[in-house]
């Protein structure tokens, strides 16, 4: 009856004859598909079947070579169909690889996705974004426990996936949701909540394309299945006309009944213990792990299960990282290999070939300068490609040319190729198709038969059937253990959920105590200031403070400019040279003709901003563009004035040095621009700029212009760099093109000392100011100690290394 009702519903989307070709590969091959309003369509197929490519076409991320698309009966111009257009049609996508910006807060991630819903004139956009985030999370995942003010990077993978899903549902105009492996990282409770939401919202008319390798979920949720193979339609039918075995058979062109039965018998077969290989925890505690006492031997497959974030990953990592150390309470006998769960962040080397990614661990275990046999290497890679049925055109192709599932196979091949005794698996089958999963189960069981120890963290309870023993972890302790024959799912869940609320509460308290990024820079600055003051008490006076501050003001402007560049993931190697050119223009052209001088400065600012467009349009690395432009800035300065001198207009000197009861004018200008920098980064578009520094793909898919973000960032950085040059001019009253030549690399050091990172969009302007002052105070201290200025750069470098070392220690402690 349900099928008839769905069959009578109106079409939401219809695509015909879609074709997408990448070089020699046909990713989508003349495929046609329909989706009704309120229908849940399960898109099924093996890795490389074309599922992700199809959803990217339907959501406007990529354009098909051929084919037509209509939404609610209206034809779509495929050449103009973008993610922004798709959103106006009510289409949202939850990708398997999270499309969030980890340097932003939870609510800021909602803003960048749903910015069209915000009133541009309303200054309370943050409040609206927070309310939107809370409501969406509450609606899909009741009792989620996620603080919308928290930085996304502080959340677990499961919580991040919850944010991604809730964000996609937050638009009241959404009509179709594409969910690509949405439960791959979700615990059982949140998976059930999501399924309830899908059922309810589908009944309200929202359409779904649901991609999952968990066939039980498909049987429960879907109204219809659509099986893809080699980019084309293989089979489709209502859910009532298929079964899990039928889907597996149709995907694999075979009958799986007998095979599945054989595998089940293999999973339950008696094991032979190899006591020469073992891992022993003896009342062991470290970090999250608490009082663990367990023994594991070769021949076993040990499963680590429980709710997400209860110590399963830490258990694996402890075995791996302590394998070469002798630590009390943990004894490891045998060579260890590790298969990372987050293949994008921890697994693959994206710029390397499939061969290099497969063989790197084996090479690393050899002698330091041992020659590498190409023939032997190719033989090993080909052996594991065939064994795992890895689909690739050539082993020399970049690993990023493979589908996600095939990338995972390469990581497993890497671990197996080193012939390790202990194999650690961090959810290795996440996002892998059913057929490949069964192949991998066989590989793991074969390893155990050979006497190896397999320790397997899994988020799929169905995989527990393939393990000889399983440990249920709760709050870092082993809450219970089951042998294969004794395992009961209900008992496992009971152990996993007990005392879970208390754990979550403690986690929130721990997060609240996380120190600020700029803290170490602030401490370093204060220590240096106190030491300098002890040597010269006049530094503590108002006059002393102002004298010091005037000296470092131009450098602080430069550091603020560099902060914007590094926040975008770039480095500006021309900021010091640009300031030198501005200084020369102020002392020459501006002094002779104010109007012409101002026009020249505005022209330089425009050229500076165009560096961002050159980087975007031509794809030239930022370091090359800014380094090249540094020679341009310096050359122009020497053309205008080849020796120090000139004269800065009196009005500029008075404007920046006007006396007042509080501070010198130049310092008030500096404070004004520090506040301005902070406000820019906290503004709506400042949030967008930070987002591009972390995940530009996600930002573009959300409808933001990368070209505009690059241009705006370099324009703003140019303004701050220009102010640094003007401040230099106002302070000295003349010009010297070399006066700011050393600033460039020091500004980079200031940003990093202040808590910034070279990538990921993690910077802080306050920290950059503290870092810049700290570096300046080093020079002052050396002068007071009558140490030659030849040692200044050396000491500044040591300060940088010392602070970064403290940052690293603090990070390890927090983790």
Task: Determine the pLDDT at residue 408.
Answer: 80
- Nearest 5°: the CA angle 719, 725, 728 is 140
Task: Determine the pLDDT at residue 213.
Answer: 76
The arithmetic mean of pLDDT across residues 352-376, rounded, is 78
The arithmetic mean of pLDDT across residues 476-504, rounded, is 71
Largest CA distance in the chain: 94
The arithmetic mean of pLDDT across residues 366-387, rounded, is 79
β-partners of residue 208 are 40, 177
The arithmetic mean of pLDDT across residues 449-478, rounded, is 86
- Among left, alpha and beta (phi > 0; psi -120 to 50; other), residue 403 is beta
Tokens 């501006």 — which residue?
Answer: 590
- Give the range among 181-185, 231-235, 265-269, 530-534 with minimum mean pLDDT: 265-269
The number of CA neighbours under 13 Å toward the Cβ of 162 is 33
Task: Determine the pLDDT at residue 622.
Answer: 93
pLDDT tens digits, one per residue of 756-795: 888 888 899 999 999 999 999 988 888 888 888 788 878 8
H-state helical runs in 641-739: 650-657, 665-682, 684-694, 696-701, 706-732
Nearest to 296 by CA among 454, 428, 474: 454
**Integer Cα distance of 163 and 134 in angstroms:** 10
**Is 80 exceeded by the pLDDT of residue 317?**
yes
CATH, domain range 2-90+175-255: 3.40.50.300
CB 793 within 8 A of CB 783: no
Separation in Å, CA 70 to CA 56, 87, 477: 15, 14, 54
Tokens 């600012």 — which residue?
Answer: 605
Dihedral sign for Cα 132, 134, 135, 140, please.
positive
pLDDT tens digits, one per residue of 204-214: 999 999 998 78
pLDDT tens digits, one per residue of 265-306: 444 556 788 889 999 998 888 888 888 999 999 999 999 987
Nearest to 354 by CA among 373, 376, 375, 382: 382
Task: Determine the pLDDT at residue 793.
Answer: 79
CB 312 within 8 A of CB 457: yes
**Is 70 exceeded by the pLDDT of residue 810?**
no
DSSP state of 372: P
**Is 50 exceeded by the pLDDT of residue 707?**
yes
**Is 50 exceeded by the pLDDT of residue 419?**
yes
**Is 50 exceeded by the pLDDT of residue 529?**
yes
Same fold, 2-90+175-255 and 265-502: yes
β-partners of residue 211 are 43, 180
Q: Which strand (E) or helix (H) includes residue 356?
A: helix 354-364
The arithmetic mean of pLDDT across residues 31-57, rounded, is 88
H-state helical runs in 588-621: 589-592, 594-618
Q: Which residues of 681-717 are buried (b: 16+ CB within 10 A; e: fewer)?
A: beebbbbbbbbbbbbbebbbbbbbeeebbbbbbbbbb
Domain ranges of the chain: 2-90+175-255, 102-172, 265-502, 552-741
β-partners of residue 481 are 471
Nearest to 410 by CA among 346, 338, 355: 355
On average, the pLDDT of the chain sits at 85
| Beta-sheet strand order (sheet of 274-286) | 289-298, 274-286, 330-333
**Integer Cα distance of 562 and 557 in angstroms:** 9
- Among left, alpha and beta (phi > 0; psi -120 to 50; other), residue 389 is left
Nearest to 63 by CA among 26, 17, 18: 18
**Is 70 exceeded by the pLDDT of residue 342?**
no
pLDDT tens digits, one per residue of 650-705: 998 888 887 777 777 788 889 999 999 999 999 999 999 999 999 988 898 888 89
**Integer Cα distance of 381 and 396 in angstroms:** 11
Task: Determine the pLDDT at residue 381.
Answer: 86
The arithmetic mean of pLDDT across residues 476-501, rounded, is 75
pLDDT cut 90: percent of the chain above it: 39
**Is 90 exceeded by the pLDDT of residue 363?**
no
- Nearest 5°: the CA angle 713, 101, 680 is 35
**Integer Cα distance of 208 and 42 in angstroms:** 8
CB atoms within 10 A of CB 553: 25
User: Which residue would you say has higher pLDDT here, 794 or 148?
Assistant: 148
Tokens 């209206």 — which residue?
Answer: 74
> What's the 3-state SS for 747-797?
HHHHHHHCCCCCCCCCCCHHHHHHHHHHHHHHHHHHHHCCCCHHHHHHHHH
* Residue 523 tokens, joined: 């401490």
- How sure is the predictor about 256, in pLDDT bands with cuts at 50, 70 and 90? very low
Q: How far is CA 51 from the centre of its chain?
A: 23
| Beta-sheet strand order (sheet of 422-426) | 336-339, 422-426, 453-457, 301-305, 469-474, 477-483
**Is 70 exceeded by the pLDDT of residue 429?**
yes
CB atoms within 10 A of CB 793: 14
Task: Determine the pLDDT at residue 609.
Answer: 95
Task: Determine the pLDDT at residue 265.
Answer: 42
pLDDT cut 70: percent of the chain above it: 90
DSSP state of 77: -
Q: How far is CA 361 from the centre of its chain?
A: 24
Dihedral sign for Cα 422, 424, 428, 434, please.
positive
Select from 3.30.110.70, 3.40.50.2300, 3.40.50.300, 3.30.2130.10 the CATH code of 265-502.
Answer: 3.40.50.300
Task: Determine the pLDDT at residue 443.
Answer: 85
- How sure is the predictor about 24, in pLDDT bands with cuts at 50, 70 and 90? low
Gyration radius of the chain over CA positions: 30
- Among left, alpha and beta (phi > 0; psi -120 to 50; other), residue 76 is beta
**Is 80 exceeded by the pLDDT of residue 46?**
no
**Is 60 exceeded by the pLDDT of residue 8?**
no
- Among left, alpha and beta (phi > 0; psi -120 to 50; other), residue 155 is beta
**Integer Cα distance of 539 and 90 in angstroms:** 62
**Integer Cα distance of 448 and 319 in angstroms:** 18
The secondary structure of the chain in percent helix, strand, coil, rounded to multiples of 5, reads: 55, 15, 30
**Integer Cα distance of 663 and 669 in angstroms:** 10
CB 655 within 8 A of CB 730: yes
H-state helical runs in 461-541: 489-497, 500-512, 519-535
| Angle between helix 765-784 and 542-567 (nearest 10) | 130
Nearest to 176 by CA among 57, 11, 37: 37
The arithmetic mean of pLDDT across residues 141-150, rounded, is 90
**Integer Cα distance of 466 and 663 in angstroms:** 73
Number of H helices and number of E strands within the chain?
A: 31, 19
Task: Determine the pLDDT at residue 323.
Answer: 67
Nearest to 353 by CA among 381, 379, 372: 381
Q: Are strands 25-36 and 11-22 parallel, antiparallel or unpaired?
A: antiparallel
Q: Which strand (E) or helix (H) includes residue 708?
A: helix 706-732
Nearest to 337 by CA among 263, 249, 421: 421
CB 468 within 8 A of CB 274: no
CB atoms within 10 A of CB 438: 18
- Give the range among 176-180, 588-592, 656-660 with minimum mean pLDDT: 656-660
* Residue 751 tokens, joined: 């940003």
**Integer Cα distance of 609 and 705 in angstroms:** 15
- How sure is the predictor about 499, in pLDDT bands with cuts at 50, 70 and 90? low
CB-count burial class (<10 Å; 0-12, 13-18, 19+) for 153:
middle
């Amino acid at each position: 009856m349900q099928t008839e009702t769905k069959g009578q519903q109106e079409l939401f989307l219809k695509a015909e004859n879609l074709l997408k070709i990448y070089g020699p590969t046909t990713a989508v091959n003349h495929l046609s598909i329909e989706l009704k309003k309120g229908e849940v369509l399960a898109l099924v197929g093996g890795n490389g079947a074309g599922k992700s490519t199809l959803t990217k076409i339907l959501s406007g991320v990529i354009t098909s070579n051929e084919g037509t698309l209509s939404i609610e009966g209206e034809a779509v111009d495929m050449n103009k169909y973008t993610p922004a257009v798709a959103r106006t049609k009510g289409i949202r996508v939850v990708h398997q690889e999270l499309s969030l910006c980890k340097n932003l807060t939870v609510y800021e991630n909602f803003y960048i996705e749903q910015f069209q819903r915000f009133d541009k004139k309303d200054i309370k956009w943050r409040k609206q974004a927070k309310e939107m985030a809370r409501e969406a999370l509450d609606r899909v995942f009741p009792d989620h426990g996620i603080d919308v003010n928290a930085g996304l990077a502080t959340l677990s993978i499961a919580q991040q996936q919850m944010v991604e899903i809730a964000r996609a549902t937050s638009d009241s105009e959404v009509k179709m949701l594409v969910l690509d492996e949405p439960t791959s990282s979700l615990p059982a409770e949140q998976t059930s909540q999501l399924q309830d939401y899908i059922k309810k919202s589908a009944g309200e008319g929202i359409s779904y394309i649901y991609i999952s390798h968990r066939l039980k979920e498909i049987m429960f949720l879907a109204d219809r299945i659509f099986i893809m193979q080699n980019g084309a339609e293989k089979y489709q039918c209502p859910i009532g006309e298929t079964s899990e075995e039928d889907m597996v058979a149709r995907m694999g062109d075979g009958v799986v009944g007998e095979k599945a039965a054989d595998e089940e018998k293999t999973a339950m077969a008696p094991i032979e213990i190899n006591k020469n290989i073992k891992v022993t925890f003896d009342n062991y505690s470290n970090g999250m792990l608490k009082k663990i006492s367990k023994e594991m031997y070769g021949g076993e497959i040990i499963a680590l299960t429980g709710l997400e974030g209860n110590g399963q990953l830490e258990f694996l990592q402890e075995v791996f990282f302590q394998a070469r150390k002798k630590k009390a309470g943990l004894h490891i006998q045998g060579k260890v290999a590790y298969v990372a769960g987050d293949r994008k962040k921890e697994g693959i080397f994206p710029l390397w070939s499939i061969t290099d990614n497969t063989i790197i661990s084996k090479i690393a275990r050899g002698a330091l300068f041992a020659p590498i046999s190409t023939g032997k290497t190719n033989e090993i890679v080909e052996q594991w490609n065939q064994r795992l049925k890895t689909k690739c055109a050539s082993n020399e192709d970049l690993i990023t040319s493979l589908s996600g599932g095939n990338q995972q196979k390469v990581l497993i091949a890497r671990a197996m190729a080193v012939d390790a005794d202990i194999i650690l698996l961090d959810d290795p089958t996440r996002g892998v198709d059913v057929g490949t999963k069964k192949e991998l189960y066989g590989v793991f069981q074969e390893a155990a038969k050979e006497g190896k120890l397999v320790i397997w963290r899994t988020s799929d309870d169905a995989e527990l059937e393939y393990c000889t023993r399983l440990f249920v972890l709760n709050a870092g302790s082993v809450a219970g253990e089951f042998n294969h024959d004794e395992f009961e799912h209900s008992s496992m869940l009971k152990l996993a959920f007990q005392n879970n609320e208390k754990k979550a509460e403690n986690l929130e308290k721990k997060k609240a105590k996380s120190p600020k990024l700029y803290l170490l820079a602030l401490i370093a600055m204060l220590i240096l200031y106190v030491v300098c003051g002890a040597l010269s008490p006049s530094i503590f006076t108002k006059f002393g403070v102002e004298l010091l501050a005037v000296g470092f003001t131009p450098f602080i402007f430069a550091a603020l400019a560099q902060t914007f560049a590094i926040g975008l993931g770039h480095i500006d190697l021309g900021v010091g040279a640009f300031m030198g050119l501005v200084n020369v223009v102020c002392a020459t052209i501006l002094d002779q003709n104010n109007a012409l001088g101002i026009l020249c400065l505005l022209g330089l600012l425009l050229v500076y901003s165009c560096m961002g467009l050159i980087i975007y349009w031509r794809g030239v690395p930022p370091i090359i563009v800014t380094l090249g432009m540094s020679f341009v800035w310096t050359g122009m300065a020497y053309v205008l004035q080849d020796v120090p001198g000139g004269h800065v207009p009196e009005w500029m000197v008075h404007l920046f040095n006007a006396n007042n009861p509080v501070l010198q004018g130049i310092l008030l200008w500096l404070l004004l621009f520090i506040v301005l920098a902070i406000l820019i980064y906290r503004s709506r578009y400042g949030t967008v700029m930070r987002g591009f520094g972390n995940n530009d793909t996600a930002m573009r898919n959300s409808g933001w212009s990368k070209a505009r973000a690059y241009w705006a960032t370099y324009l703003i950085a140019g303004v701050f760099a220009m102010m640094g040059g003007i401040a230099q001019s106002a302070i000295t009253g003349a010009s010297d093109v070399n006066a700011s030549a050393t600033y460039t690399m020091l500004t980079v050091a200031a940003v990093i000392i202040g808590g910034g990172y070279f990538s990921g969009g993690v910077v802080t302007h306050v920290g950059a100011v503290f870092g810049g002052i700290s570096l300046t105070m080093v020079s002052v201290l050396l002068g007071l100690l009558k140490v030659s200025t030849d040692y200044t750069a050396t000491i500044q470098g040591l300060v940088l290394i010392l602070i970064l070392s403290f940052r690293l220690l603090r990070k390890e402690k927090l983790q």
